[in-house]
Amino acid sequence: MKLPFLFLLICYILQPFSASAQKFIYFDNPSFEGPPADATVPVGWLPCEEETTPDILPGFWGVYREASEGTTFVGLITRHDGTWESITQRLSKPLEPEECYSFTLDLARSVTYNQYNRPIRLKIWGSGTKCEKRQLLLETDLIRHANWKTYEVGFYPKDKLNYIIFEAAYPEGIDALPGNILIDNLSPIKKCPRA
C-alpha cells in the first residue's frame, strides 16, 4: 500500500517540473560549442546551402573576440560569387500552427573576418523538412555592430515547422558581397504568454 502512495507523491512533486519543461523547445548546442575550427559545422547542426562551411570561432580568419556565452560561436559568410552559408537543426518538438513563439539570440559582425568583413543580414526560416525554406521568421537589418547584441525573434507558424534555418543574407538589392555574421547564445523557444 505504501508503494502506490509513494509513486503518486513523486508524480505530484515532479508534475510542475514536467509541465514547465514542456513549455520550452531546446536547441541542441545552442551556443555552437566545439573545438574552434574553420569549415566545420558545429555538433547538433547541419549544412543547408551548397558550399556551407561555417566556422567555429574564435581563432580563425582573424576573428579573436570572446563568445557572448560559453567559449565558442559560429560564423556564417556571404561571398562575392553570389553564394552564402546556412545551417539548420531539427527541433526536439514541432512548432504548431497559429501558436505564438519567441526566442532570443546574440548577433555581431567581425570587422576582421579575412576579406569577408562587410555587414550583412540574418534570415531565420522555419521548415517542415530539412533545408526547405517554408516560412521566413525573421530578417534583420544589416548587422553593423561589432559588439554582441541580443535580438528577440517572435513569430506565428503558418504550418507545422520541424526545422529552423539560420542563413547569411546579402543587403537588400545586392546579390554578391563578401560579408559575415556571428551567432551565439540561442535561448530555448517558448510559447508566448496568453493574454
* Domain presence at residue 26: no
* Domain presence at residue 3: no
For 81, the domain range is: 32-191
Number of compact structural domains in the chain: 1
Q: For residues 152-181, give the mean pLDDT.
A: 93
**If you search the block for the grid coordinates 541580443, which residue do you land on?**
150
Identify the H or E element spanning 171. none
* Domain presence at residue 40: yes
Amino acid at 127: S
Confidence of residue 187 (pLDDT cuts 50, 70, 90): very high
The closest alpha carbon to 131, from 175, 172, 161, belongs to: 161
pLDDT at 17 > cutoff 90: no
Evaluated on CA atoms 14, 17, 20, 22, the torsion sign reads: negative
* Domain presence at residue 25: no
* Domain presence at residue 27: no
More confident residue, 126 or 4: 126
| pLDDT tens digits along 74-97 | 999 999 999 999 999 999 999 999
CATH at residue 38: 2.60.120.260
